[in-house]
Homo-oligomer: A and B are copies of this chain.
């Protein structure tokens, strides 16, 4: 049931490896971010649009399960889906090796809408059309899952 995931591909960079000769675990958070950026672009609500209007979506919680290692030059697939978009916004992720589709990591991030001073804002009030676009995307996702 992964038809409603947004998929984006990337190749492991040498700078992302560490002395264990696999990818350093902190990079998975940056890859989740790459997945999130692509998912929002495809949903018609590119994150850059939010920031251009002074609306930020920082991470307030992150959780990752590391199941297997990625190595330099491996091709990976990052799957992202929007799981919740109310006061808090929640994205879920899977990272798989492209060659054999083995899942390397799973996780989620939780976010809150804030302004440039990092104060909480209500998206509905500041940018109702962006709020609607997110809700429309989430509903469409829900239907495609049914």
Asked whether any CB of chain B lies closer than 8 Å to the CB of A30, the reply is yes
A17 CA to B20 CA in the complex, in Å?
9
Q: Classify chain A's interface size.
A: 35 or more
B19:A72 contact, CB within 8 angstroms: yes
Asked whether any CB of chain B lies closer than 8 Å to the CB of A63, the reply is yes
With contact pairs A63-B62, A65-B60 given, residues A14 and B24 touching in the complex (Cβ less than 8 Å): yes
With contact pairs A48-B73, A63-B63 given, residues A21 and B19 touching in the complex (Cβ less than 8 Å): yes
Q: Which residues of A contact B (CB under 8 A)?
A: 11, 13-15, 17-22, 24-27, 29-30, 33-34, 37, 46-48, 51, 56, 58-67, 69, 71-73, 116, 118
